Chains A and B, each alone.
Chain A
Amino acid sequence: MTTPRHSYFPAAGLALLLLYACATNAPVADPQLLDFIQDGTTTRDEILLNLGQPSAVFQDEAILTYRIGEDKRGYFIEVPSASDWQFVRYSLVLVFDAKGTLQRHNLVSVR
């Protein structure tokens, strides 16, 4: 007696659903995440390509900020949520000139 193949589909679907339910969206920490940032050489495009969407933008993108978390493995980008700083360790502030080259930056400790 053989079991029809399609009878496994609901079980497989349930298993996939449970696996998905267990999945976490934990950020990947990297100790060298910010090492590429150099005043006078790094451009805004490089920043956006490496760090993604900033948490805040000022003066027509002349200033960008990112919320940075930190654990034992290194730095990671924290998704901003209103005024909740619970998992944020630093605020990275980047100031660009008119050509889009980084002029000044600071990793401000907020916690």
Chain B
Amino acid sequence: MKRVLLFNRVHPRQIALLLIASLLASCWIPRNDWELDSRRNVTPGTTTTLQEGVGTATLADVLLQLGEPDVVSEDGRRLTYQWTKIEGMFIIGAMYMGSARDVTRASAIEVTFDERGYLVSAELLYGKLHLD
């Protein structure tokens, strides 16, 4: 009961001020690092290189270039190469109270082949930002 009364006494403006103060005490440090367990030989630019081989490159050509994929479809005609990069670090709070969190983004290239094993498409897929 007391808690409810106490909460009722807090004005929404005070909550907003507290929120703004917290945000002012925070900072964003941009980073461009690979996540520890991510593969590092595939980037968005790889999509362009792959697209140049549409109709001529084979499954073997792509595997020889990029290595084993992270995911293979059941029919073996769709390969997915995934990687995760740390976009930055979000730090909130100061002094003895605070928290630092990495913000990561998972990305992937989905490569599709026809029934003869020739490259049909290579599509870049960006994931959402994720707070680790």
Q: Identify the A interface with B (CB < 8 A).
A: 55-56, 58-59, 62-63, 65, 67, 83-86, 88, 90-91, 93, 95, 104-106, 108-111
Contact = CB atoms under 8 A, between A and B. Distances in A.
Contacts, number: 62
Main secondary structure of the interface of A (DSSP, over half): strand
Nearest to B67: A91
Interface string B69-81: 1111000100000
B60 A104 contact: yes
A111 B39 contact: yes
A83 B82 contact: yes
A91 to B, nearest CB: 3
Interface residues of B, number: 21
A94 to B, nearest CB: 9
A90 B71 CA distance: 17
B37 A59 contact: no
